[in-house]
């Protein structure tokens, strides 16, 4: 890989524009950490009151439109979906999908190719006319493109998009929460490792700015660049994340999923790197001294969790239990937060 040369345009713009892709946040039918922080942070930055107080910078949520061949601003419906997540019902499979699933293996791959072609043709045929006013063909002076969400799932791949943006005079940057798939492959499946690793390689090869959530993340991304043989100087900064907590109202009903009595609450995607097994071990040491204490995991079911679920099921009892609520975190009054004794997390 050869590191891209920094863009050397001199800013004369009175307003700095920062484009932030939100395709993954809109596409997935759940809310986990990345979707939550994308909505929380970008939602504040595009709030009209914040924008009036900070007139020299403007954040613009965008998505890539294959039919437009460029990024575009959000439609009104997409803006509403971004502002407030509402779960969508699972779509009914099409007749073509059902027919392809019933085919023998040698015919399944060609059938999927035909299906993708037909879907693509339908997208072109049904391409909304209002995209013409939303597409970005003329980029503002000295703009930035910032990857805030889980953009390793997005298409086109960043190895294509970042050079495409640079040719249009757009600076690029990314948030670095961690680079764990490149450090601890035993915690991730092969697809996740491939997507995330190639995403980070593309940014390290091309981007100018890396916003890290901790000093550890900063060290790890610099170390990753070294392991990839990249020797250029990387512009990194550390901006730690915060949180807003409000005390729940008194007298709320106990959530149906919660165990009896008090409980510890762990909020995280159920996956190996979140150390749920360590938390269960610690809970097992405490439960004899605190027989009314339960342990609740709230989070979307991730990957490689079969052993964890078996362990959790084996640590229950009539007055003490470990409960896995396999669902996205919510902030509704009926959520497990409403009768929380202690928030728990595990670190090795």
Last residue of a domain, one of 192, 222, 238: 238
Return the minimum-mean-pLDDT range out of 130-139, 166-175, 300-309.
Answer: 300-309
Q: What is the pLDDT of residue 325?
A: 59
Q: What is the pLDDT of residue 295?
A: 83
Query: Would you say 26 and 63 are in contact if contact means Cβ atoms under 8 Å apart?
Result: yes
For residues 41, 44, 46, 49, the Cα torsion angle rounded to the nearest 10 degrees is: -160
Q: In terms of domains, do 220 and 165 share one?
A: yes
Q: What is the pLDDT of residue 5?
A: 42
Q: In terms of domains, do 75 and 162 share one?
A: yes
Residue 147 lies in a domain: yes
Beta strands in 149-287 (DSSP E): 171-176, 209-212, 235-238, 262-267
147: part of which helix (H) or strand (E)? strand 144-147
Return the minimum-mean-pLDDT range out of 77-86, 97-106, 156-165.
Answer: 97-106
Q: In terms of domains, do 65 and 135 share one?
A: yes
* Mean pLDDT, residues 165-180: 97
How much of the chain, in percent, has pLDDT values that exceed 70?
84
* Mean pLDDT, residues 51-73: 96
* Mean pLDDT, residues 299-311: 75
Which of 57-61, 122-126, 267-271, 279-283 shows the highest mean pLDDT?
Answer: 57-61
Phi, psi at 322, each rounded to 5°? -115, 125
- Nearest-angstrom CA–CA distance, 320 and 314: 11
Using 50, 70 and 90 to split pLDDT, how confident is the model at 6? very low
Q: In terms of domains, do 277 and 207 share one?
A: no
Q: In terms of domains, do 229 and 272 share one?
A: no
Q: In terms of domains, do 141 and 219 share one?
A: yes
Q: What is the pLDDT of residue 313?
A: 63
CA-based nearest residue to 345, from 20, 33, 15: 33
CATH code where residue 167 lies: 3.40.50
Q: In terms of domains, do 153 and 227 share one?
A: yes
Q: In terms of domains, do 201 and 288 share one?
A: no
Return the minimum-mean-pLDDT range out of 32-41, 229-238, 290-299.
Answer: 290-299
* Mean pLDDT, residues 121-144: 89
Q: What is the pLDDT of residue 339?
A: 46
Alpha carbon separation from 241 to 75, 274, 296 (Å, rounded): 29, 18, 24
Which of 7-11, 35-39, 157-161 shows the highest mean pLDDT?
Answer: 157-161
Residue 3 lies in a domain: no
- pLDDT, tens digit, 9 for 90 and up, residues 240-265: 987 766 777 777 787 777 777 788 88
Using 50, 70 and 90 to split pLDDT, how confident is the model at 7? very low
Using 50, 70 and 90 to split pLDDT, how confident is the model at 340? very low
Residues 6+ apart with CB under 8 A from 302: 269, 270, 271
Residue 243 lies in a domain: no
Q: Which is higher by pLDDT, 84 or 110?
A: 84
Residue 7 lies in a domain: no
Domain total for the chain? Answer: 2
pLDDT exceeds cutoff 90 at 58:
yes
Residue 28 lies in a domain: yes
Q: In terms of domains, do 267 and 303 share one?
A: yes
* Mean pLDDT, residues 87-111: 78
Q: In terms of domains, do 162 and 281 share one?
A: no
Q: In terms of domains, do 28 and 66 share one?
A: yes
Residue 212 lies in a domain: yes
Which structural domain, as residue segments, surrounds residue 24?
A: 16-87+128-238
Q: How many Cβ atoms from other residues are within 10 Å of residue 10's Cβ?
A: 6
Last residue of a domain, one of 205, 238, 271: 238
Q: In terms of domains, do 270 and 230 share one?
A: no
Which of 9-23, 65-79, 116-130, 276-290 shows the highest mean pLDDT?
Answer: 65-79
163: part of which helix (H) or strand (E)? helix 158-166
Residue 49 lies in a domain: yes
Structure tokens at 204: 């390290």
Q: How many Cβ atoms from other residues are within 10 Å of residue 98's Cβ?
A: 10
Beta bridge partners of 203: none
Residue 290 lies in a domain: yes
């Amino acid at each position: 890989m050869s590191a891209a040369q920094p863009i050397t345009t001199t800013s004369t713009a009175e307003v700095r524009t920062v484009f932030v892709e939100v395709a993954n946040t809109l596409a997935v039918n759940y809310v986990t950490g990345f979707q939550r922080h994308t909505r929380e942070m970008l939602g504040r930055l595009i709030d009209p009151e914040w924008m009036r107080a900070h007139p020299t910078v403007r954040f613009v949520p965008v998505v890539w439109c294959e039919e437009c061949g460029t990024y575009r601003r959000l439609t009104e419906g997409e803006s509403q979906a971004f502002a407030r997540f509402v779960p969508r019902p699972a779509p009914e499979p099409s007749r073509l999908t059902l027919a392809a699933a019933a085919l023998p293996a040698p015919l399944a791959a060609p059938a999927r190719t035909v299906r993708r072609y037909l879907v693509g043709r339908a997208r072109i045929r049904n391409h909304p006319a209002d995209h013409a006013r939303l597409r970005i063909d003329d980029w503002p002076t000295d703009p930035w493109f910032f990857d805030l969400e889980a953009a390793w799932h997005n298409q086109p791949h960043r190895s294509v998009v970042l050079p495409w943006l640079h040719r249009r005079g757009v600076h690029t940057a990314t948030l670095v929460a961690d680079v764990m798939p490149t450090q601890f492959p035993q915690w991730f499946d092969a697809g996740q490792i491939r997507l995330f690793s190639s995403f980070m390689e593309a940014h390290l090869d091309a981007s100018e700015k890396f916003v890290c959530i901790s000093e550890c993340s900063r060290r790890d991304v610099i170390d990753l660049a070294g392991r990839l043989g990249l020797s250029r100087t990387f512009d990194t900064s550390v901006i730690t994340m915060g949180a807003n907590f409000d005390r729940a109202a008194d007298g709320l009903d106990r959530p149906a999923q919660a165990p009896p009595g008090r409980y510890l609450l762990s909020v995280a995607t159920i996956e190996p790197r979140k150390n749920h097994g360590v938390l269960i071990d610690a809970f097992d040491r405490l439960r004899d001294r605190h027989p009314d204490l339960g342990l609740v995991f709230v989070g979307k079911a991730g990957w490689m969790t079969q052993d964890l679920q078996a362990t959790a099921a084996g640590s229950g009892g009539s007055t003490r239990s470990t409960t896995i609520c396999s669902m996205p975190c919510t902030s509704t009054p009926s959520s497990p937060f409403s009768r929380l004794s202690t928030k728990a997390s595990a670190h090795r």
